[in-house]
Structure 1
């Protein structure tokens, strides 16, 4: 019984956290400005049509060149990024594609497209409020009442991160075993809103992307602050699933694929945030083949 209830509650929490498609308006509905949007991308695959990838510096920032063509966003805007390091990372994504361009593996490119086109037309305040809203359904704040082994596991693994966040930001973050979720003090929200306001728009897109992957603002903050590695943050976000898998078994290939994909998306989002916050540039001016 406890296993069924645990899965039902976990599924419900994921539904609450699930981001809506970034192009909702194209289906005839207005997007909710507080709803986290998926970073969006072109069709999943396409035959590679270029030989060389390079970067150049233009008036608006750093541009990506595919042979002699300048990369464009899905809305046909010039693909220009604010940091040379980010441009090199994106160019590397394009250069590493083989005969077929697999867009679903190009998370940095996708995040840049989202930042440039801003399909949901949200401003900085709306991005911040959407990220902080995740506290209401934060994975680390939802606890089970049984079995005792999982209760103890959550306490041992999650409590230190909660305690770190409370001390780091001088706030109170409560947990709950109630399906209605924890009570988050208004001051906690205000402090975290103020902290996130220190990031620029591009970095906030990356932060929200990571939050939607981990289903946790607390884990995302710990990751951005280098309190956790990507591998640690991902495993902590999947604590209940990993517990059940160890106890009941799993479909090996499906579990491994899902885990690796989550790590890849989380790592890309984290790198994106740091590269968008980087104030210095690297020495290389061009990325050759």
Structure 2
């Protein structure tokens, strides 16, 4: 595998407003995405976050250290060109939402799921006009058509940048409802992430700490919190 990385070639990095939004210029040359599209983002705050990443690069460009740039690239090169497919996929989480599948035992876990997850479903019933119904066990049971239709409508209404962030909020938490809860500031993102990890936290309490699992969870948490930040910068 090659260790080659592009070298920093610019001196000045600036945010520039355009008719379509904001972009970043390196010594007067506008940044492009990997697919060679213009990297134009919807808000100045997002452009400033992208510009800060480019400005922070040293002798070599390290894409791993540029999460906002990578998210903007994904929104433009991937989500924008297949918006309907991405939205359909995310809306599908509603019919098998993490929050709806409850343990059949032990009672302590059942009680904790009810205490942590019922308030989110209650919030969704009001804020999203979508009441999902919890069930016992892991066998799929269809959710109300009206609720799923409303959730799908809301997902499809997101623009490409919002949807790129929303993709990670939903896929990392395993819950369409928690994705909306994070996007709409139901609670702090750290708390929403913890709620999504309830079952894993329970298992750790019963069986002990696993370093590898913890490290993997922390990576996902970082990605989840970044997705929330990117969503906020898109509006």
Asked if Structure 1 and Structure 2 have the same fold, meaning a TM-score greater than 0.5 normalized by the shorter chain, the answer is yes
Match of 1:55 in 2: 15
Give the distance between the partners of 2:191 and 2:82, measured in 1 at CA: 31
Alignment equivalent of 2:206, drawn from 236, 243, 247: 247
**Alpha-carbon distance change, 195 to 48 in structure 1, aligned in 2, over 3 angstroms:** same
How many Å apart are 1:80 and its aligned residue?
Answer: 1.5
The within-5 A match list for 1:43-122 is 46=5, 49-50=8-9, 51-98=11-58, 101-118=61-78, 121-122=81-82
Higher relative contact order (CA 8 A, sep 6+): 1
Match of 1:235 in 2: 194
Match of 2:89 in 1: 130
Match of 1:220 in 2: 179
Q: Does the 8 Å contact 1:111/1:206 carry over to 2?
A: yes
Alignment equivalent of 2:159, drawn from 200, 214, 233: 200
Unaligned runs of 5+ in 2: none
Give the distance between the partners of 2:43 and 2:219, measured in 1 at CA: 26
Give the distance between the partners of 2:141 and 2:181, measured in 1 at CA: 20
**Alpha-carbon distance change, 250 to 95 in structure 1, aligned in 2, over 3 angstroms:** farther
More helix by share: 2
Unaligned runs of 5+ in 1: 1-42, 278-289
- Cα root mean square deviation, aligned: 2.6
Give the distance between the partners of 2:53 and 2:206, measured in 1 at CA: 38
Give the distance between the partners of 2:3 and 2:76, measured in 1 at CA: 19
**Alpha-carbon distance change, 79 to 234 in structure 1, aligned in 2, over 3 angstroms:** same
TM-score when scaled to structure 2? Answer: 0.86
The within-5 A match list for 1:262-277 is 262-277=220-235
Q: Name the SS for the 1:64 alignment partner.
A: strand
Q: Does the 8 Å contact 1:142/1:182 carry over to 2?
A: no
Alignment equivalent of 2:136, drawn from 172, 177, 180: 177
TM-score when scaled to structure 1? Answer: 0.71
